[in-house]
Structure 1
Amino acid sequence: MEDKILIEAKNLKKYFKVGANAQLHAVDGVSFTIKKGQTLGVVGESGCGKSTLGRVLLRLYDVTDGQILYDGVDITKMDSKEIRPIRARMQMIFQDPSGSLDPRKSVKELIGEPLKIYKVCKNQEEYDRRIAEIMKTVGLSERYTESFSHELDGGRRQRIGIGRALAMDPEFIVCDEPVSALDVSIQAQILNLLMDLQKEKGLTYIFITHDLSVVKHISHEIMVMYLGQCVEYAKTKDLFANPLHPYTQGLLDAVPIPSLKAKKLSTQIMRGELTSPVDPAPGCRFAARCPYATDACRGKDIPLKEVEPGHFVSCTRF
């Protein structure tokens, strides 16, 4: 693995206007780095800002504040023309293959769409050859070339999505819950395919999921998000061996992983209601559900603190 940083986010924020004077803080002051050829897992409950973060990194959403550095280049304020050649190196695999694939287009057309947009192939022969190569790479038989996505099962549809993402030979791929709509056996096949492609092509991933049992096997580092903020950030093995934030502990306690259950983590069921992400008050947003919350958790924001080497947590207990 290279030590070169490919993606760096600095105090990244994305707010959405709701109503006349209110803003929803979807991503609120998130910072992280992803080294080339590695995977950052992003976990958290639905609505915590994971998918918004992925789209902001690709500049599908404009940035409210902060910086995004791609391979050392600041892409935060680039317009559509400036970012076009860079975006060819960044792709996305969407959560629901049924919703992200045009049912009117054949498998060949779906995978080849980026090739036509960027005018990569010189002629039809080169285009057909490239489609065949991509289908072989993602494990799709050529007999499905003229098939439509709705004629195939979920696993094959997701392979189409992966093939489309690979069409431009990208360096960085946002995997937005790519296996959540699949059954367990197909999940394993898709995860193995993604890991094999990473080894073969040196791909860099951000892997978004709410399932810690999935992210455990594919990620080098994990960032835990809660209501738009990062509450814990660590190497995967360190986070699973020693979860520090009460929210992370609660997530792990809900995951049926035998190795974790054997450790008998002293966690409690998360109770209480979610804090509103619309113009939230300063302080820990998990305090309303945290069994350890004190007055120190409210009134002022709690920054990430390096508790152990490379292990950061946002909590007043440390």
Structure 2
Amino acid sequence: MGVILEVQNLKKDFDITAGKLHAVDNISFQLEQGKTLGVVGESGCGKSTLGKLLVGLEQATSGKIIFQGRNIEKAGRADWKALRKEMQMVFQDPMSSLDPRLCTMDLIAEPLKIFKVCRTQSELESRVRALMDLVGIAEHMIYAFPHELDGGRRQRIGIARALALEPEFIVCDEPVSALDVSIQAQVLNLLKQIQRDKGLSYLFITHDLSVVKHISDDILVMYMGQMVEKAACKELFHSPMHPYTRGLLSAIPIPSLRNRRKRVLMEGEITSPVNMKPGCRFAARCPYAQERCRQEQPALREVSPGHFVSCHFTETTSISDTPA
């Protein structure tokens, strides 16, 4: 399959009283048609800002976003209106992303009305009912309001809205983090089924490594606005190379008393993302950090086919404490 999305040296800085906050700093990657790229990292690492940049909700400071061969980073208002049919976003909190004054019917119908997809009211209702059936919302809930529904059903409405215009690419910004575990599984399986049926491409943002392992083809690990590691899902879980990735993976609980995993504790202070100084941003928490790490920013290197790491000492640090 071809590449549907290519990001080149993408940056986003916010001007604040104390200086410049580097939310996204020099991110580059490719996403193939029909695949899922998982983006993981701690809260505040820039995951959601990255997703918003890709769908035009934030304006990049510099860099390129190439979608289906077109550089959309400098797209105008008219261009973005056309792009809205091809790229959509599912937000983290369905309650805050849905208009509480609209019922299920009106919420799902809204994008169809804006783009004048249906010519008659009966065609519109038929399309909405088909979308409800696709995402698993019972027909008797067609006139229910968001406050009358649980979190899972509200998120299904958000997914239906995103699918209404039949897009090619969807950014899923922690779509299951606010849901119960059983509902999480239902929504994840729904997203995977829709992807298989329609050939969609996802950027799946989450802080839950168990979730990202279930749904992703490739995984991108972010720390303080930068990409520190990127690899195929199985490769990353089997052979993590960046100390930060190893720390994240060691925190995944194992439901076994025999197969205990040794924790990789990340001690030290988190570096401020404002007016960043030279050097590795993880150095203050890294057990392998040396003076070079505090002076020189490590370059992102391809240490094996498809496996990119940003670390000076990738080949020399021990990975004996990381999970298999």
Band the TM-score falls in, shorter-chain normalisation: over 0.9
Sequence identity (%): 59
Q: Does 1:39 align with 2:57?
A: no
Pick closer, same or farther for the CA change 1:258–1:8 going to 2, 3 Å. farther
Q: Does 1:205 align with 2:202?
A: yes
One-letter amino acid of the counterpart of residue 73, structure 1: R
Pick closer, same or farther for the CA change 1:104–1:40 going to 2, 3 Å. same
Query: Once the 2 structures are TM-superposed, how far is the Cα of residue 268 of structure 1 from its aligned partner?
Result: 2.3
Q: Could you say what secondary structure the match of 2:295 adopts?
A: coil
How many angstroms apart in 1 are the aligned matches of 2:294 and 2:68?
37
Query: Once the 2 structures are TM-superposed, how far is the Cα of residue 300 of structure 1 from its aligned partner?
Result: 2.3
Q: Which residue of 1 aligns with 2:9?
A: 11
Q: Which residue of 2 aligns with 1:186?
A: 183
How many angstroms apart in 1 are the aligned matches of 2:313 and 2:261?
20
Q: Tell me if structure 2 keeps the 8 A contact 1:304–1:314.
A: yes
How many angstroms apart in 2 are the aligned matches of 1:301 and 1:248?
18
Deviations 1:167-208 (A, max 9, x none): 000110000000000010000000000000000000100000
Q: Which residue of 2 aligns with 1:177?
A: 174
Pick closer, same or farther for the CA change 1:121–1:278 going to 2, 3 Å. same
One-letter amino acid of the counterpart of residue 11, structure 1: N
Q: Could you say what secondary structure the match of 1:282 adopts?
A: coil
Runs of 4+ in 1 over 2 A off after TM superposition: 261-265
Q: Could you say what secondary structure the match of 2:118 adopts?
A: coil
How many angstroms apart in 2 are the aligned matches of 1:268 and 1:234?
20
Matches within 5 A, 1:141-180: 141-180=138-177
Q: Tell me if structure 2 keeps the 8 A contact 1:268–1:291.
A: no
Q: Does 1:306 align with 2:302?
A: yes
Q: Does 1:272 align with 2:268?
A: yes
One-letter amino acid of the counterpart of residue 61, structure 2: T
How many angstroms apart in 1 are the aligned matches of 2:277 and 2:195?
41
Pick closer, same or farther for the CA change 1:109–1:35 going to 2, 3 Å. same
One-letter amino acid of the counterpart of residue 270, structure 1: M
Tell me whether 217-226 or 79-88 shows the greater mean CA deviation.
Answer: 79-88
How many angstroms apart in 2 are the aligned matches of 1:62 and 1:19?
20
Identify which of 193, 196, 214 aligns with 1:196. 193
One-letter amino acid of the counterpart of residue 272, structure 1: G
Deviations 1:51-83 (A, max 9, x none): 000000011111100000001100011111122
Q: Does 1:281 align with 2:277?
A: yes
Tell me whether 298-307 or 153-162 shows the greater mean CA deviation.
Answer: 298-307
Q: CA RMSD in A?
A: 1.4
Q: Could you say what secondary structure the match of 1:317 adopts?
A: coil
Q: Could you say what secondary structure the match of 1:296 adopts?
A: helix
One-letter amino acid of the counterpart of residue 107, structure 2: L
TM score, norm. by length of structure 2: 0.94
Question: Number of matched residues?
Answer: 313
Q: Which residue of 2 aligns with 1:65?
A: 62
Q: Does 1:317 align with 2:313?
A: yes
Unpaired runs of at least 5, structure 1: none
Query: Once the 2 structures are TM-superposed, how far is the Cα of residue 87 of structure 1 from its aligned partner?
Result: 2.0
